[in-house]
Amino acid sequence: MMGYGRYTRGGPPATEKFDMTKPATAQDAFVQPLIYGFSTIRRKIHNGKITKIGMEGVKPPYILLCNHNAFYDFYVMMSAIYPDRGVFPAAVDDYIGREFFLRRFGGVPKRKYTADVGLLRTCRKAIKDGLVFGIYAEARYSLCGVTEVIPDAIGQLCKHMKVPVVTFVCRGHHIYDPFWGDHSIARKLQVRPVEAELRLAFTPEQLESASVDEINEKVRTLLQNDDWRWQSERHIRVSYPKRAEGLNKVLYQCPHCMTEYKMRSKGDKIYCENCGKSWTLTEYGELQANSGETEFRFPGDWYLWEREQVKKEVQNNEYRFESRVDVNDLPNSKGFVHMGHGTLVHDMGGFHLQGVRDYDGKPFSMEIPAAGQYAAHVEYHYRFGKKRDCLDLNTLDDTWYVFPECSDFSVTKISLAVEEIYNEIWRRRREEKEKSKE
């Protein structure tokens, strides 16, 4: 199941909205060589290596499932599948200021974590037209360079479409341009090797004999990735002196004193303001405590530990977040419309947002039930939000970027809580169902 919600719209009444029903357009034939050339140059700058496994004779139509660590993924993917043309869903905020070009390059606007039936129709048409239908299965950038949630709906889609399924996993892109990083030119100018693997995961005949659960299990295995371990094993050096700055956005809880929201970072160090303990992120992607025990060798392990802490809160019904928020609507690719301020509550029931519009004083609200939302999209120091952290809340018709205004919070924790609440709700429902059968 994907997210859905109820809302009262908050933008100006005359604001034109995204056309989510406009037919997708595959890349023009004359544009393909230009895309391939530019993408291949970008890949070769980083000594990018693409390995193809079982791809002999595989031609469109097929479903392409990719992992997602950085914007650089797009370049490598386009280089890998050439000369095949395709259609690729992309989040609506990607279209800001460039909708014309994205649609011409095969982009299809999508509101994250919503049950969009229109996207299924787009997939069917792409397959019918003999194209690639490409999906970033995690539906967002990895927050910490490790594999994020891949929904069960992926297996259902593959089973239903009855065409080859190809996986494309990239390694090293999070090291090159981490989602939490400062995105400085100095970081990006450093050349670091990257790798990618294009693999035939299922033939149509294999899909027919496999269950949805088996398809999901294999897809998750093939897309499994940990860029930190990969960097360490390949002995890839990152000498950028500020390589740890921003890592505290993801690693928000101190494993030494257990305090939340007091982690800070500077240069190659991440440290806790509460207890004073600090760790150095080495040039090879490993953490080393500057005194005492090194609790986690890799940042990805720290991140997974935080997930377990959130899971305990959820299972004990202790999780709750509330804050005054600044709310902005994204009606179309022209940019955001400021709605006003309100109060956001996130608890075991889901997201509850209420506020008042600045321009006419009327109330607005959004309710997103937890049982229908398996994940949430977050942003760190968002470029369109005065470099603030935010949540991206979506219904089928609206996208609202919500900026908490409290001093101590972490959108990473909220993101983890969405996933763990969803898991806990459905775990309890399965238990109740089993008990009712007894």
pLDDT exceeds cutoff 70 at 178: yes
- My answer on whether omega of the bond before 61 falls inside 30° of 0, hence cis, is yes
Looking at per-residue confidence, does 374 or 18 come out higher?
A: 374
Burial class (CB in 10 A: 0-12, 13-18, 19+), 31: middle
For residue 243, give both structure tokens. Answer: 């390589």
Q: What rounded mean pLDDT belongs to the chain?
A: 90
- The residue type found at 417 is A
Residues with Cβ within 8 Å of 355's Cβ and at least 6 positions away in sequence, in order, are 10, 325, 327, 339, 340, 341, 342, 343, 363, 364, 365
Summarize pLDDT for 180-231 with one digit per residue, the tens.
Answer: 986 665 566 566 789 999 999 999 999 999 999 999 999 999 999 999 999 9
Query: Does the pLDDT at position 1 exceed 50?
Result: no
Determine the pLDDT at residue 183. 63
> Using one digit for the tens of pLDDT, what is the confidence trace for 373-408?
999 999 999 987 678 999 999 998 899 999 999 989
pLDDT, tens digit, for every residue of 280-316?
A: 999 999 999 999 999 999 999 999 999 999 999 999 9
Q: Given this model, what pLDDT does residue 184 score?
A: 61
- The confidence score (pLDDT) of residue 4 equals 43
Reference 84, options 131, 33, 14; nearest CA is 131
Please, what are the domains in the chain? 19-234 (3.40.1130), 247-315 (no CATH), 321-437 (2.30.29.30)
Residue 76 neighbours by CB under 8 Å, 6+ apart? 39, 42, 43, 48, 50, 170, 173, 194, 196
The SS3 assignment for 360 reads coil
Residue 426, helix vs strand vs coil = helix
Report the distance separating Cα 248 and Cα 268, nearest Å.
12
For residue 190, what pLDDT is reported?
67
Tell me the whole-structure pTM to 2 decimals.
Answer: 0.92
**Looking at residue 404, what is its pLDDT?**
97
Quickly count: other Cβ atoms within 10 Å of residue 241's Cβ.
11
In this prediction, residue 206 carries a pLDDT of 97
Whether 107 has a pLDDT exceeding 90, the answer reads: no
Say which range, 37-41, 83-87, 117-121, 250-254, has the weakest mean pLDDT: 117-121
Tokens of 362: 């009327």
